[in-house]
Copies of this chain bind each other. A is one copy, B any other.
Amino acid sequence: MSDHVYKQIKLTGSSTKSIEDAVSTALSRASSTIKHMRWFQVVDTRGHIENGQIAHWQVTIEVGFTLEN
């Protein structure tokens, strides 16, 4: 692990169900173009409200992935 260089990008995923599912949505979309994703950190947890209830969660993460040589 000591000889890798990582890049981190910031993504926001949404879900009507849960915080965990919003993160999955973001990773799922990112995995179509980014290989070698290693870890994420939750940096913001928000949501939209409709009629006094949670309409959907919006969770922002930083995702770290290996830059290939």
**What residues on B are CB-neighbors of A48 within 8 Å?**
1-2, 38-39
Q: Considering only CB atoms and an 8 Å cut-off, how many residues of chain A contact the other chain?
A: 53
A7 to B57, CA, bound (A): 16
Given contacts A16-B2, A52-B37, A67-B29, contact A23 B47 (CB under 8 A): yes
**B18 x A20 contact (CB < 8 A):** yes
Tell me the A residues contacting B by CB distance below 8 Å.
1-16, 18-20, 23-31, 37-42, 44-49, 51-57, 60, 62-64, 67, 69
Can you give 10 contacting A-B residue pairs, CB < 8 Å? Answer: A5-B29, A6-B12, A8-B10, A8-B12, A20-B54, A27-B49, A27-B52, A29-B69, A39-B48, A40-B47
